Amino acid sequence: MPDRLSPGSGGPLVDPDGRSWTMNRRKLDVRIVRRALKSPDGLVLLGETGGFDLRWVGPEQRPALWEQVRGRYRGAGGDINADFMAYEFVHADGGRLVYIELSC
C-beta of residue 34 within 8 angstroms of C-beta of residue 99: no
CA-to-CA dists, residue 32 to 11, 14, 79, 82, 85, angstroms: 22, 22, 15, 17, 12
Tens digits of residue pLDDT in 30-55: 999 999 999 988 899 999 988 888 99
15 pLDDT tier (thresholds 50, 70, 90): confident
* Predicted pLDDT of residue 78: 72
77-102 pLDDT, tens digit each:
777 778 899 999 999 888 899 999 99
Q: Look over the chain and give the mean of its residue pLDDT values, rounded to a whole number.
A: 87
